[in-house]
Amino acid sequence: MSTPDGGTRPAPTDSGPRPSTPTTPTPKKDDPAMAQRIDVKDLNIYYGDFLAVEGVTMTIEPRSVTAFIGPSGCGKSTFLRTLNRMHEVIPGASVHGSVEMEGVDLYGADIDPVAVRRQIGMVFQRPNPFPTMSIEENVLAGVRLLNKKISKSDAADLVEASLASANLWNEVKDRLQKPGAGLSGGQQQRLCIARAIAVKPQVLLMDEPCSALDPISTLAIEDLITELKKDYTIVIVTHNMQQAARVSDRTGFFNIAGTGSPGKLIEMDDTGTMFSTPKEKATEDYISGRFG
Amino acid sequence: MTTTAADTRAPSPAPSNGPDRPRPPRRRTRAADRGFNRAFRYLATSAGTLILIALAAVAGFLLWQSWPALTSSGSEIASKVSFFQGQSSLASYLGPLIFGTLLAAAVALAVATPLAIGIALFTSHYAPRRLASLLGWVIDLLAAIPSVVYGLWGALVLAPTIQPVWQWVSNVLGWIPLFKGPAADPARVLLTVSLVLAVMILPIITAVSREVFLQTPKLHEEAALALGATRWEMIRTAVLPFGRSGVVSAAMLGLGRALGETMAVVMILSPGLTYSFALLLAGKQQTIAANIALKYPEANSLGMSTLMATGLALFVITMVVNMASRWVVGRRKEFSGAN
Amino acid sequence: MTVLVSTAFGIALVPLVWLLWTVVGRGIGRLDPYFLLHSMRGVFGGMDAGGIYHAIIGTVWVTVGAAVISVPVGILAAIYLVEYGAGGRLARAVTFFVDVMTGIPSIVAGLFAYALFSLFLGPGAHFGAIGAVALSVLMIPVVVRSTEEMLKLVPNELREAAYALGVPKWLTVIKVVLRTAIAGITTGVMLAVSRVVGETAPLLLTVGVIDSINFNPFEGRMMTLPVYVYRQFTAGLVPCNNPNVTCIPTINYDRAWAAALTLILIVMILNLVARLVSRLFAPKIRS
């Protein structure tokens, strides 16, 4: 949860901006801060008729960091985007198989993808704050863009809590009305994280969140990820194996046989095991830098 | 960490990436597409469709209104329409008008195209950046001036001033039918009109040509320069061949504009309905657009229908020219995209 | 060769400078508050009177009417092309015909509006709204093209950011895409307005001419500024025979020049403001 806990925050903060979507898979309504487990079974991902990723089965544990590694084009980002149905934003894209969050199929017939995305937030490769909005408005974007009413004090609380969770509050508290695009790259990315957690999702997906950042900003984001996993299920795609080793609890390795063939999940295990004694030869080759 | 999911079930025995795989059902998108989402999509789509309908309606209404004239005999039109001027049929009335329209536009194009190419090259390959943007602004200004102001200036200032020049031209080049003298005074003749039209279509030809010239691959240009070519040789060997089809389509766009221009012609030209190439004589030619604007006040119902028929002809001509030019541009896009 | 190319440019400058010089020189003398605030009602012969107030009213009404029709249709069509069409057959057809539509001669647009309204009201109807319809035929493609360009400039990342926050597509389009592009769209709309504000021929056919003020765009003829210029031009020189009456032989031309100057000023101001809007209010989008 973005707020440290329910004790210090007034109760309305939690109920006010919370999305109350009836079709939303929220099994544990009394505890919205609960991070959720995701089960993926036999997932095939298509772009039109092209099978991009094939037969992925995995479980993503709550309150932990799961990292996906693999060479370029192996489908790890594509797979990540299917977890909150961002995949289908691309025309012609579709999936076959099931993705369940705490037993609810995210691709069920009556599930609204928009509601899924409110439960499973996303942070992108390049920081993308809304250029027309101030820092404060960016944090509140998830609320304001949906025309939801929120009182001034609730909004201020939400902004502070979200920015504090993203380790950005102290840096920007004096210039909340300044445009978000005026921050440094690392700050912008943390602003995007604050924006994502202001919607109070249960899961946070991160698609190579540090690839456009310098080493110091990367360090700040990695520290943040370690803190956030207390409250969220975090899934991160990264090109950087050291990063996966540093931040993640479990690691999945994706690979591709060749151009035109589908990407596959080769192996998934605890991060320590993956980097010391992987079961598959391909994983070992990749980790030891023999290809990719 | 638990080990419940540690076993990797992913690497299944090599199923092929083929169409034999069951396709996912289409219902996936339905949940997202309802309520306001769907309403908004419909709204946007119908706005797009409305444009197609509007264009079809333009053609349809012109045809509908010109139908009485198209189906009446020449003698019937002649007896009812005051401005028919003893023509025997609609075709014989329309013929000189189409001729005049094409002639005025063609002369304008002949004047404007070389100038526009020169200006486009100047702004794309010669002028320093700052000057180039200033020049672009000046050319935009030419496009912003309303045609009625061009007409006013052409009729009251240009026509009297340029008459001696036309007289001189007819003295020197009078043996060419185009420049047969004596030049009319004041010079309310087709050459003056075409000159004004040329100024009016200069901006669009320049703008499109400049776009194209700027797209010349830097590699081609540098290759030419590296071979020791001068800037002009580089332009001749790299820029012009690359931009040729773009310039053609720019010129055709300009042609489309010139064909449809009304006020400058109405205000400057002394009209006549003949198939004459004499650019310096008054009372020889007229264009369709100008003729409509001039005859409209005195037109009765069949007269209006006759004018609609001429308007339909103008519409068809400009549509053909525009479509052809867009087609040339479209083909070019595919071509340069492959490079 | 440099000389030749530069000469071409010099030649292009001649008509522009010459024309502007003439219009300003001949128009500035009569362009005063009296001229702006009086109509032509009761003005005849060589009287040193009359103005363009009625024409300004008409131009404002007709242009605003055209914008009211064109802006929603144009922006929605552009949204369709960029956000929904996605290169489908209909979208390709719309793109092609929008391009073709930019080439419709203005007089043909006038004939179309005339024919459209004669279907409902019988032939010969003249009022402001018909002119607005005629101008919107010319204006819609310009609005579509410029809006389309602006929407394409909005980075896809912003759309994805909004989707990832659980914002439905239609709200994303309205509150993120349109809001990001709004300065550019405003500029495009103003440039489109400045393009149609000087149109004469279609208004001659649809709105007609009148000497007095008419505030109602749905009934009765209206004068518009470009048509006013044309009318004064066709009125020509005035024969002044009675030395006891103040009579200016060139009064009609004088008024035409002054009205032309007003028209050019309006177009220039629209252009200038449009450029300022895009420069001052456009958000900085990383390329």
Mean pLDDT value of segment B291-317: 92
Tokens in use for B210? 């400049």
**CB within 8 Å: C165 and A84:** no
- Tell me which chain C residues have a C-beta less than 8 angstroms from the C-beta of A196: 164-165
- Give chain B's domains with CATH numbers: 47-77+88-338 (1.10.3720.10)
- Could you tell me where the DSSP H helices lie in chain A? 11-15, 76-83, 113-119, 135-139, 141-144, 152-165, 169-172, 185-198, 215-228, 241-247, 271-276, 281-287
Q: Does A195 touch chain C (CB under 8 A)?
A: yes
Give how far B115 is from chain C: nearest CA, Å. Answer: 5
- Among A262, A266, A264, A265, which residue's Cα sits nearest to residue A47? A262
Residue of B nearest to C23 (CA): B153
What's the pLDDT at C231? 93
Q: Is C87 left (phi over 0), alpha (psi -120 to 50) or beta?
A: left
Averaged pLDDT of chain C = 90
Q: 3-state DSSP call for residue C103? A: coil
pLDDT of residue C138: 94
B160: closest CA of chain C, how far (Å) = 14
Going from N- to C-terminal start, the domains of chain C cover 56-224+266-281
Give per-residue burial for A174-193: e unless 16+ CB within 10 Å, then b: eebeebbbebeebbbbbbbb
As a whole number of angstroms, the distance between CA B324 and CA C105 comes to: 16
Kindly list the residues from chain A whose CB atom is less than 8 angstroms away from the CB atom of residue C177: none
CATH of the domain spanning C56-224+266-281: 1.10.3720.10
Helix or strand holding residue C181 (H, E): helix C179-196
Report DSSP state, residue A100: E
For residue A262, give the nearest of B3, B8, B17 by CB distance. Answer: B17
pLDDT (0 to 100) of residue B6: 37
Question: Mind giving me the DSSP string for B155-203?
Answer: IIIIHHHHHHHHHHHHHHHTTSGGG-SSPPSS--SHHHHHHHHHHHHHH
Residue B17: is its pLDDT beyond 60? no
Q: Which of C268, C233, C234 is nearest to C254 (CA)?
A: C233
Asked if the Cβ–Cβ distance from B145 to C264 is below 8 Å, we say yes
Inspect the interface and report whether the beta carbons of B10 and A268 lie closer than 8 Å: yes
A-chain residue closest to B27, CA distance? A109
Helix (H) or strand (E) holding C264: helix C251-281
Q: In what order do the strands lie in the sheet with A120-123?
A: A104-105, A93-101, A38-47, A50-60, A263-270, A250-256, A65-69, A233-237, A203-207, A120-123
* A118 to chain C, closest Cα gap in Å: 5
Given a cut of 90, whether residue B212 has pLDDT beyond it is: no
Angle at C196 between CA C195 and CA C198, to 5 degrees: 90
Contact B146 C15 (CB under 8 A): no
C9-66 confidence digits (pLDDT tens)? 778 788 889 999 999 999 999 999 999 999 998 888 888 888 999 999 999 999 999 9
For the beta carbon of residue B27, count every other beta carbon within 10 angstroms: 10
Give the number of residues written for chain C: 287
Amino acid (1-letter code) at residue B93:
Y
Question: What are the two backbone dihedrals, phi and then psi, of residue B240, each rounded to the nearest 5 degrees?
Answer: -65, -45
In DSSP terms, A254 is beta-bridged to A265
In angstroms, the CA A150 to CA A72 distance is 42
**Dist. CA C81–CA C111, nearest whole Å:** 29
Residue B83, beta-bridge partner list = none
3-state class (DSSP) for residue A207: strand
Least-confidence region, from B231-245, C106-120, C166-180 = B231-245
B34 to chain C, closest Cα gap in Å: 10
Mutate: best of C3, C5, C255, partner B, most B CBs <10 A: C5
Of C8, C90, C108, the CB nearest to B58: C108
Does the beta carbon of A260 lie under 8 angstroms from any beta carbon of chain B? yes
With CA atoms as reference, the chain C residue closest to A21 would be: C166
- pLDDT score for C26: 94
Per-residue confidence band for B327, with pLDDT thresholds at 50, 70 and 90: confident
Q: What is the pLDDT of residue A291?
A: 66
Q: Name the residue among A46, A111, A264 with its Cβ closest to that of B11.
A: A264
Closest-approach residue (CA) in chain B for C261: B149
Q: Find chains touching chain C: ≥3 CB pairs under 8 Å.
A: A, B
Tell me the ipTM for this assembly: 0.91
Distance from the C131 Cα atom to the nearest Cα atom in chain B, whole angstroms: 15
B292-302 b/e (C-beta count within 10 Å ≥ 16 → b): bbbbbeebeeb
Task: Write the CB contacts of B74 (distance below 8 Å, at least 6 apart in sequence).
Answer: B87, B88, B89, B90, B92
| Tokens describing residue A166 | 């993203």
pLDDT at A34: 57
pLDDT band at B311 (very low <50, low <70, confident <90, very high): very high
Nearest CA distance, C23 vs chain B (angstrom): 8
Helix H or strand E encompassing A268: strand A263-270
pLDDT in tens, C117-156: 988 888 778 899 999 999 999 999 999 999 999 999 899 9
Domains of chain A in start order, with CATH, are: 35-287 (3.40.50.300)
Residues of C within 8 A of B49 (CB-CB) are 90, 94
| Residue-wise pLDDT tens digits, B260-286 | 999 999 999 999 888 988 888 888 899
Task: Please list every residue in chain B whose beta carbon sits closer than 8 Å to the beta carbon of residue A61.
Answer: 1-2, 5
Does the beta carbon of A104 lie under 8 angstroms from any beta carbon of chain B? no
Neighbours of B149 (CB within 10 A): 28
Closest Cβ opposite residue C161 in set A91, A124, A132: A124
Cβ-Cβ contacts under 8 Å for C146 (sequence gap 6 or more): C184, C185, C187, C188, C189, C191, C192
**Cβ B17–A269 below 8 Å, yes or no?**
no
Q: What is the pLDDT of residues B45-87, one digit of tens each?
A: 999 999 999 999 999 999 999 999 998 888 888 888 888 877 7
Residue A23: the pLDDT is 44
- The count of C-alpha atoms lying within 13 angstroms of the C-alpha of C251, restricted to the half-sphere facing its C-beta, is 18
Cα B257 to chain center, whole Å?
4
Which of C82, C159, C160, C165 is the best mutation test for A, with the most CBs of A within 10 A? C165
* pLDDT in the model for residue B10: 37
Q: Look at B21 and A112 and tell me if their CB atoms are within 8 Å.
A: no
Tell me which of B201, B236, B262, B304 to substitute to probe the interface with C (most C C-beta atoms closer than 10 Å).
B262
- For an interface test with B, which of C14, C108, C199, C231 has the most B Cβ atoms less than 10 Å from its Cβ? C108
Taking the Cβ of residue B35 and every Cβ of chain A, the question of whether any pair is shorter than 8 Å is answered with no
Q: C285: nearest CA in chain A?
A: A131
Question: Token pair for residue C26?
Answer: 């001949």
- Tell me which residues of chain A have a pLDDT lower than 50: 1-33
Question: Which are the contacts of C73, defined by CB distance < 8 A and separation ≥ 6?
Answer: B47, B50, B51, C136, C140, C143
DSSP symbol at B124: I
* Contacting subunits of A (3+ beta carbon pairs below 8 A): B, C
Question: Any CB–CB contact under 8 A between A174 and chain B?
Answer: no
Using an 8 Å Cβ cutoff, are A253 and A286 in contact?
A: yes
The pLDDT of residue B143:
84
Using an 8 Å Cβ cutoff, are A217 and A189 in contact? yes
Query: What is the 3-class SS of B274-293, one letter each residue?
Result: CCCCCCCCCCCCCCHHHHHH
Asked whether the predicted pLDDT for residue C88 surpasses 90, the reply is no
SS3 call for A44: strand
Q: Considering only B149-158, B181-190, C109-118, which range has the smallest mean pLDDT? A: B181-190
Q: Is A117 an interface residue toward C (CB < 8 Å)?
A: yes
User: Which of A55, A56, A95 faces B24 most closely, judged by CB atoms?
Assistant: A95
Chain C residues near residue B117 by CB distance under 8 angstroms: 8
- Closest alpha carbon to A40 in A209, A217, A205: A205
Q: How far is B45 from chain A, CA to nearest CA, in Å?
A: 16
Comparing CA positions, the residue from B288, B297, B319 lying closest to residue B96 is B288
pLDDT of residue B125: 82
- The residues pairing with A43 across neighbouring beta strands, listed in sequence order, are A56
Query: What pLDDT, on a 0 to 100 scale, did the predictor assign at position A182?
Result: 87
Which of C212, C255, C250, C207 minimizes the C-alpha distance to C231?
C255
Q: Point out the least confidently predicted range of B18-27, B126-135, B195-204.
A: B18-27
Spatial neighbors of C98 by CB under 8 A, at least 6 apart, are B51, C77, C141, C144, C145
Residue of B nearest to A248 (CA): B1
With CB atoms and an 8 Å threshold, state whether A141 touches C162: yes
| Residue B261 near chain C (CB below 8 Å) | yes
Residue entry with tokens 């390049």? A126
Q: Best mutation site among B9, B23, B26 for testing chain A: the one with the most A CBs within 10 Å?
A: B9
> What is the CA B49 to chain-centroid distance, rounded?
23
Which of B225-239, B302-316, C91-105, C230-244 shows the highest mean pLDDT?
B302-316
Most confident of B69-78, B150-159, B169-178: B150-159
| Chain A / chain C CB contacts < 8 angstroms | 80
The rounded mean pLDDT for chain B is: 83
pLDDT of residue B332: 60
Partners of A120 in the β-ladder: A203
Cβ distance of C167 and A114 shorter than 8 Å: yes
pLDDT at B16: 43
Report residue B26's pLDDT band, with 50, 70 and 90 as the boundaries: very low
Identify residue B80 by its one-letter amino acid code: K
Between CA A148 and CA C164 the distance in angstroms is 17
